[in-house]
Amino acid sequence: MAIIRAFTSSSLLNTFNNVGTRALGTSATQFAEAKKTSVAKPGAKNIVLIDGVRTPFLMSGTQYNKLMPHDLARQSLKSLASRLSLDKNSVDYISMGTVIQEVKTSNIAREAALGAGFSDRIPAHTVTMACISSNQAISTCAGFMYAGVYDACIAGGVEFMSDVPIRHSRKMRALMLKLNKAKTTGARLSLLSQLSMKHLMPELPAVAEFSTNESMGHSGDRLAAAFKISREEQDEFALRSHTLAHNAQEAGNLSDLVPFKVPGVDQIVDKDNGIRVSTKEQMAKLRAAFVKPHGTVTAANASYLTDGASACLICTEEKAKEMGWKPKAYIRDFTYVSQDPKDQLLLGPSYATPKVLGMAGLKPSDIDVWEIHEAFAGQVLANLKAMDSDWFAQNYQGLPGKVGAPPMEKLNNWGGSLSIGHPFGATGVRLIMHAAHRLIKEDGHLACITACAAGGQGVGMIVERYPGATV
């Protein structure tokens, strides 16, 4: 609880009154000049992002509720192949992230690949790293290519919160296992006589830390209190996210989304259905969702349970040229961090940002586009305060001084997880596609992607715009 007791950072640097999108306005000449300072490592292999897609992100329990996670993952792979007119034998490896696994398809990457018509000779594996699972899928594939094992990979992720596995109680499971081993009718009847109502109580899943038994919402509330983030500031940031996402949706900027004809649903699903521009007055009426009655995290300023899947094609630059694929961005440096899951569960961006910028030899002012995962409005604002605090840098990170907070006009200009939605295993690909597309649309050069994750972990990634890239 050290942060709660000791953090005394200055007040929030930025206000959020400007909810309109704004291009960075860099000229073609400036971009050409910036290219001369590419962050490519001398002698290192260039890994490029060709393109990525996602299903519409939907609130759980809506149009996807009769599907399986496998259906969404398969759809994302089929959509990627269709968009790129991809020869499905041209891919060497597939990796997908997920968090809450369906036991029937435990290696969902493999099942989705087979269902999408990819060759059965293409290996696939599933990775889980909470909210940064598809980031890990991307960097795992990049690692294979850096090592010269593969030349072209698909990375993605999926989450399906409409039908999470619910287990029998431990007592019931133990009884059923004993019944399965019983040799005689008498032995089975004896075991059944022990059955009581307590056995029938199911174990419901919870979005909680195993190590602390605390929900992420409680951590978000405590973090907001520690960094003195008011309820009003959180609601204002959430309103900003929904407004920017709505603007981006109307402008056609969310082009990574591919419409989906869902079996059993009459209309084609072609939009994220959680984007809802409200008012400060309406948001202020909502009650605390976790720390009751005085908490500041509510349903309006927290990300919601979401169904969705995503996939992207990444490859070596040589492979792209060989196949005639047109890259959107270079994937440069990436790093993963971890810290105390009790007191600093959601501070991954604060730790990952200085580390990944240092790896790339960059300053925050070099970054044109910032994409930070929005688990909670208070979590994003707390990270911005931490990044702008010399005290935090010196006492918690062992750094001589602060890295500096991103300017608000460069941050999540097309909305974020608060508004678009957050399918845990799929968000990482959504973040990298927004970063790549924003670099093109806003005429930028470099992007930084950061996210927090359960377990007190986090990711930082640097993406560089590819010369001549188009959306």
Residue 49 has pLDDT above 60, yes or no: yes
Going by their DSSP bridges, the two strands 369-372 and 446-453 should be labelled as parallel
- Under the banding of pLDDT at 50, 70 and 90, the label for residue 3 is low
Q: Which structural domains are found in the chain, ordered by start?
A: 2-38+45-163+215-465 (3.40.47.10)
- Under the banding of pLDDT at 50, 70 and 90, the label for residue 166 is confident
Active site residue 131: yes
Span 405-435, pLDDT tens digits: 999 999 999 999 999 999 999 999 999 999 9
- Smallest CA-to-CA distance from 356 within 450, 230, 266, 431 is with 450
- Smallest CA-to-CA distance from 322 within 135, 151, 129, 447 is with 151
Q: How many C-beta atoms surround the C-beta of residue 384 within 10 A?
A: 25
- Single pTM value for the model: 0.90
153, 312, 315, 452: the active-site residue: 452
The answer to whether the bond into 165 is cis (omega within 30° of 0) is no
Predicted pLDDT at 120? 97
| pLDDT over 90 percentage in the chain | 83
Residue 155 has pLDDT above 90, yes or no: yes
131, 153, 312, 448: the active-site residue: 131
Span 375-416, pLDDT tens digits: 999 999 999 999 999 999 999 999 999 999 999 999 999 999
Torsions phi, psi of 32, nearest 5?
Answer: -60, -40
Q: Quote the mean pLDDT of the chain.
A: 92
Q: Under 8 Å CB-to-CB from 126, ≥6 apart: which residues?
A: 95, 96, 97, 98, 101, 106, 107, 108, 109, 110
Q: Under 8 Å CB-to-CB from 9, ≥6 apart: which residues?
A: 227, 228, 385, 386, 388, 389, 391, 392
Structure tokens at 7: 């953090």
Span 26-48, pLDDT tens digits: 444 444 444 447 899 898 999 99
* Distance, first Cα to last Cα, the chain: 45
CB 459 within 8 A of CB 334: yes
CA dihedral (242, 248, 250, 255) in degrees, to 10, reads: -130
Residue 197 has pLDDT above 70, yes or no: yes
Distance between CA 111 and CA 43 in Å, rounded? Answer: 37
Predicted pLDDT at 291? 94
Span 432-445, pLDDT tens digits: 999 999 999 999 99
Going by their DSSP bridges, the two strands 58-59 and 306-316 should be labelled as antiparallel
Predicted pLDDT at 314? 98
Residue 24 has pLDDT above 50, yes or no: no
- Smallest CA-to-CA distance from 115 within 69, 63, 164 is with 69
